[in-house]
Amino acid sequence: MIDYFKYAVDAEGICTLTIDQPDSTTNVMDQNFIDSFRAALERAIADQAVTGIILTSAKASFVAGADLKSLEATLTTKQDAKTLFDQCWGFSSLLRWMETAGKPIVAALNGPALGGGFEIALACHQRIVADVRSMVVGLPEVGVGLLPGAGGTQRTLRLLGVAKTLPLLLQGSQLKAEAALQAGWIHAVVPAEQLLAEAKNWLLAAPEALQPWDRKGFRVPGGSSPQQPDLAQLFMGTAAALQASTFHNLPAPLAITSCLYEGMQLPIDKALRVECKYFVKLNLDPVAGNMVRTVFINKTQADKLVRRPAGIETRKHVKIGVLGAGLMGAGVAFGAAQSGIEVVLIDRDQAAADKGKAYSETRLRRDIERGRSTPEKMEAILARIHPTTDYAQLKDVSLVVEAVFEDRGVKAEVFAQAEAMMPADAVLASNTSALPITGLAQSTQRPQNMVGLHFFSPVERMPLVEVIRGKQTSDTALAHALDFVGQLRKTPILVNDSRGFFTSRFIGAFINEGVTMVKEGIEPALIENAAKMSGYPVGTLSVSDEVGLDLAYKGAVQAQADLGPEHKAGSSVEIITTLVVDHGRHGRKNGKGFYDYAADGSKRLWPGLSSIWPLLPKARQPDVGEVQKRLIYAQLVDAARCMAEGVLTDPADGDIGGCFGVGFPIYLGGPFAMMDTVGIAQVVAECDRLAQTWDKERFAVPQLLRDMAAQGKTFYGPNRILAPALQVAL
């Protein structure tokens, strides 16, 4: 066992247990942690000289929570319920023993305490928190498909009552020190330098080593009977709201609610076992494993720029250029200026460039109104954005992001003007949504400097950037482009060049399938609801309207022009063309698309759809499950093709890109996680059936998937598949 706990007892009998995991910047709760925690506690409780215990950390944070790598391994391999229960109960019962062992114990939280770390604090008799900027406490487990399994649900319930606990746990709230104090989750906030002294003072006052719930006559605040009218109503409302928001695709929120419902009626010892039982249940559900891997492990690695080519010095971008101050250019300029980077923002005329800068001002004013920023900060950010028409100002930038119209000619024109002024080693990045980067690079002087940086709208809120490597893109340009994404604190995925790269192609498969169903006479409302029931944030037709039917139409025309008469347009192009060309329906932007949009912001499906594409009779409408399958499997096939073609070289890029960029249901963990969960052979069989029933081409699986099925391979796990292009391209 490696000991993570430093043990010190002072002259007044106060024992300080300092958590200090060796060779690590944080304390994570792995097996060594649990074993050494147990040993340290047993020693302190048995030590006659010790009258009280302070639990604190030597790191910047208190405890960073579970060791997610081993958690992923546990969650994604077959486990038996008994072993899992014993593990969970082992730790939960240790905390229960700690709070009932008879010696007062105070958690001195010097830095953030989330998840398991905060559960430890909740089992202490007193929680004192240092007033540091980074401080947050909370139980965010729901975000990765889990629940707090070491007493977090039961102790919060007994401290705060059901009504306050439900939102904290269902939203996985992370509270700053002051908010946690207000909520009653902690006892005191003190200056950092006084933290240990305050903890000691509390112990020296000889407090009783008893939790509120162990006192005689304890009652859960606000009541503990589900028959109590206000609580009955609360649970009914919560259950209904969960059904409406998750369609029961996410097991964790329901399990948390059940823990509270059952737990409030039980004594704490029994209630803790109930919590443990639900924790195990979630562990056995693939949702948690897939969410942990995609949301935490893969995303964290991507954030650390794991795909950055090695051996190239990091470039800290101090000044960049942005070409085109429209929706996207203005957003990129805002993000860069917020990250401390100077931005030359160029458009065709000064007014357009100024308008791009004004976008930042509007956003910042809103932030000030909401108390998230100050006028001084706003001024500093705005002072970094230099709107102009003068390309000469690009003479000392290290990177330029192009975000002008999606038109090859216009892009070539601005590339030429920029390249004439930019330093020879600056990166030229295009924010095109679909035009292949290799083709765009042909119109430049230095194609090796060209890379795709595909941002998503609205830039300030969307965490993903798809980084596209063209055929000639150099490792240096790629590395420096990734450095920029890192400075923006966004999550990059790395893909190889192709029309639509990964994300536009991938969402295109979803849109294409849904729109095609309209032509087949399937009820539009059925198509929309099937998507929402599957966990997509919006329906297919809605998303088409948001993107713009005119844009989709222009993209199709461009693809046909680029690829020649051999190219077979997608099955939805005919419908989009009819709507745009014959009916002037461009989507949300002109109030007319698949939906009609009213001035008050409401919308309803356009009744005219069924006059153009008559509905199938009721008896021939497919059931909702079949519509859901078509939408999801169309995307699975496309993801598999992207891997087979080497557009993707690692399933993690596809899963992160799908979930964080284009709304693939996050509880599925992404298309590759889903294929592994369903089983590759099963996916192939389902696609073959869909191909037979609906369309041979759209559901044709690539050979890669058949080979994987035959060989029993999975995308993740010990046989993790990496496309051959990884060796070629990276």
| Catalytic positions, written as ranges | 454
How near is the Cβ of 658 to ligand NAI at its closest, in Å?
A: 16
How near is the Cβ of 432 to ligand NAI at its closest, in Å?
A: 5
Among 203, 332, 403, 488, binds ligand NAI (CB under 6 A): 403
Rule CB under 6 A: say whether 460 interacts with ligand NAI: no
Q: Which is nearer to ligand NAI, 116 or 321 (CB)?
A: 321
Q: Residue holding tokens 């999975």?
A: 714
Cα–Cα distance measured from residue 259 to residue 157, given in angstroms and rounded to the nearest whole number: 10
* DSSP symbol at 298: I
Question: If you count them, how many residues does the chain have?
Answer: 730
How near is the Cβ of 431 to ligand NAI at its closest, in Å?
A: 4
Rule CB under 6 A: say whether 248 interacts with ligand NAI: no
When CB distances to ligand NAI are compared, the closest residue is 326
The residue type of 18 is T
Count CB-CB contacts under 10 A for residue 703.
9
| CB of 415 closer than 8 Å to CB of 428 | yes
Cα–Cα distance measured from residue 75 to residue 297, given in angstroms and rounded to the nearest whole number: 13
How near is the Cβ of 669 to ligand NAI at its closest, in Å?
A: 24
Rule CB under 6 A: say whether 256 interacts with ligand NAI: no
Rule CB under 6 A: say whether 352 interacts with ligand NAI: yes
Rule CB under 6 A: say whether 392 interacts with ligand NAI: no
Q: Which is nearer to ligand NAI, 1 or 351 (CB)?
A: 351
Rule CB under 6 A: say whether 405 interacts with ligand NAI: yes
Rule CB under 6 A: say whether 662 interacts with ligand NAI: no
Cα–Cα distance measured from residue 516 to residue 522, given in angstroms and rounded to the nearest whole number: 9
Among 404, 481, 579, 662, binds ligand NAI (CB under 6 A): 404
* DSSP symbol at 297: I
What is the SS3 assignment for 551-599?
HHHHHHHHHHHHHCCCCCCCCCHHHHHHHHHHCCCCEHHHCECCEEECC
Q: Which is nearer to ligand NAI, 199 or 507 (CB)?
A: 507
| CB of 291 closer than 8 Å to CB of 370 | no
How near is the Cβ of 507 to ligand NAI at its closest, in Å?
A: 11
Q: Which is nearer to ligand NAI, 20 or 406 (CB)?
A: 406
Q: Which is nearer to ligand NAI, 65 or 508 (CB)?
A: 508
The residue type of 484 is F
Q: How far is CA 707 from CA 160, 266, 696, in A?
A: 55, 53, 19
Rule CB under 6 A: say whether 710 interacts with ligand NAI: no
- Stretch of 77-85, 104-112, 281-289, 450-458 lying at the interface with ligand NAI (CB under 6 A): 450-458
Radius of gyration of the chain (CA): 28
String of contacts with ligand NAI for each residue 312-351, x by CB under 6 A: -----------xxxxxxx----------------xxx---
Query: Count residues contacting ligand NAI (CB under 6 A)?
Result: 25
Cα–Cα distance measured from residue 368 to residue 91, given in angstroms and rounded to the nearest whole number: 44
Cα–Cα distance measured from residue 658 to residue 145, given in angstroms and rounded to the nearest whole number: 18
Rule CB under 6 A: say whether 663 interacts with ligand NAI: no
How near is the Cβ of 596 to ligand NAI at its closest, in Å?
A: 22
- Stretch of 65-73, 94-102, 159-167, 398-406 lying at the interface with ligand NAI (CB under 6 A): 398-406
Q: Which is nearer to ligand NAI, 163 or 358 (CB)?
A: 358
133 contact partners, CB below 8 Å, separation of at least 6: none
Q: Which is nearer to ligand NAI, 154 or 542 (CB)?
A: 542
| CB of 29 closer than 8 Å to CB of 65 | yes
Cα–Cα distance measured from residue 383 to residue 361, given in angstroms and rounded to the nearest whole number: 11
Cα–Cα distance measured from residue 566 to residue 569, given in angstroms and rounded to the nearest whole number: 9
Count CB-CB contacts under 10 A for residue 337.
23
How near is the Cβ of 421 to ligand NAI at its closest, in Å?
A: 14
- Stretch of 109-117, 337-345, 431-439, 574-582 lying at the interface with ligand NAI (CB under 6 A): 431-439
Q: How far is CA 125 from CA 122, 203, 267, 332, in A?
A: 8, 10, 18, 48
- Stretch of 284-292, 426-434, 519-527, 697-705 lying at the interface with ligand NAI (CB under 6 A): 426-434
Rule CB under 6 A: say whether 707 interacts with ligand NAI: no
438: left (phi over 0), alpha (psi -120 to 50) or beta: alpha
Rule CB under 6 A: say whether 71 interacts with ligand NAI: no
Q: Which is nearer to ligand NAI, 440 or 530 (CB)?
A: 440
Q: Which is nearer to ligand NAI, 517 or 547 (CB)?
A: 547
Q: Which of residues 406-425 bind ligand NAI (CB under 6 A)?
A: 406, 410, 413-414
233 contact partners, CB below 8 Å, separation of at least 6: none
Residues near ligand NAI, by CB under 6 A: 323-329, 346-348, 352, 403-406, 410, 413-414, 431-433, 454-457
